[in-house]
Amino acid sequence: MMITAGMYSIAQSRQVQKLNSVGKTVPEIMEIMKLSRASVQSYLPYSKTVYNLDERSVGADRIARWREKHKKISES
pLDDT greater at residue 18 or residue 45: 18
Classify domain 2-75 by CATH number. 1.10.10
Answer whether residue 8 shows pLDDT above 80: no
At 34, the pLDDT band (50, 70, 90 cuts) reads very high
Residues 6+ apart with CB under 8 A from 2: 8
Q: Structural domain boundaries of the chain?
A: 2-75
Cα 29 to Cα 35: distance, rounded to the nearest angstrom? 8
pLDDT greater at residue 28 or residue 43: 28
Q: What is the pLDDT of residues 38-73, one digit of tens each?
A: 889 888 877 655 556 677 777 888 888 999 998 888
Tell me the three state secondary structure of residue 69: helix
